[in-house]
Amino acid sequence: MSETPTSPQSLPRRWQPLSAIDRRVAGVLAEKAKTTPDAYPMSLNAVCTGCNQKSNRDPVMQLEPADVEESLDRLRELGAVGIVEGFGRVARYRHYLYDWLGVEKVELSVMTELLLRGDQTEGELRTRASRMDPIPDLPALRNVLNGLMAKELVVSLTPEGRGHVVTHNLYKPREMEVLRVKYSGAAPAAAAPGSASSSYDIPPTSSSSESVRRDLELLRAEAAQLRTDMELLKAMHDQTAEEVRRLKEALGA
């Protein structure tokens, strides 16, 4: 099932702060809908695998299926997630984040990366979000961010300029307070030490060298993502084959 945005402009605000687990679960559903549509909607086990993958996640989590199921139930109550019928005995889940957040296609890609990784610089965010929807350059990203800021979904953590750090606004109040304190003394030239995106930080060099190194990091991240997605697709195939076998046995009984 493909994901297409509705027309959110006239919808009232529905979103609210989420726990860390709920943000991860929502982010995984939005990410997989864009990157592996053949494996979407997702089973509980597939969502759990996506939550725990090591690539493009910060922090890395080790959630149990029970944790993810409780989160899915909470998100369903909020109207951010739903169950899709017609997939046999295994429940499959989809997100309703276009309506719940009130965003468009590229805006959801940006929000998805922020939900999966938290605070990061504009450059890092553009590179990562572009794997889901093309964002040609930083001015294009800033246009998207301006729209999200107008909707109060994104906030700045450092002054605008080189190394400008942004994050989503779905943190609980205490988490947001800690983040603001963390960046209160950060210079605009770089993200603060210990940033969630520090593994992608690149020391100042010539612009061409920096571009090459960022492209290399992106390729590595995409390769890791592809490996994870292939494992997810295989698991979905095996699960479907098992459901077909059981159905045949039931019909033949």
Q: 16-102+221-246 belongs to which CATH class?
A: mainly alpha
CA angle 17, 18, 21 (to 5 degrees): 160
Cα separation, 214 vs 98, in Å, equals 30
* Spans of all domains in the chain: 16-102+221-246, 111-204
Position of tokens 């929000």? 111
CATH topology of domain 111-204: Arc Repressor Mutant, subunit A (1.10.10)
State residue 87's pLDDT score: 78
State residue 19's pLDDT score: 98
Dihedral angle over CA of 92, 97, 98, 99, nearest 10: 100
- First-to-last alpha carbon distance for the chain, in angstroms, is 32
State residue 85's pLDDT score: 86
Cα separation, 151 vs 11, in Å, equals 12
Equal CATH topology for 16-102+221-246 and 111-204: yes
Q: How many CA atoms lie within 13 A of 19 on its CB side?
A: 11
State residue 173's pLDDT score: 96
State residue 86's pLDDT score: 80
State residue 226's pLDDT score: 61
Q: How many CA atoms lie within 13 A of 90 on its CB side?
A: 20
State residue 232's pLDDT score: 62
State residue 192's pLDDT score: 44
What tens-digit pLDDT sequence spans the chain (253 residues)?
Answer: 556 665 555 567 899 999 999 999 999 999 999 999 999 999 999 999 999 999 999 999 999 999 999 999 999 999 999 999 887 789 999 999 999 999 999 999 999 999 999 999 999 999 999 999 999 999 999 999 999 999 999 999 999 999 999 999 999 999 999 999 999 864 444 444 444 443 333 333 344 454 455 555 555 555 655 665 666 666 656 666 666 566 666 666 5
Picking from 248, 251, 253, 247, the residue whose alpha carbon sits closest to that of residue 87 is 247
Position of tokens 């990061």? 120
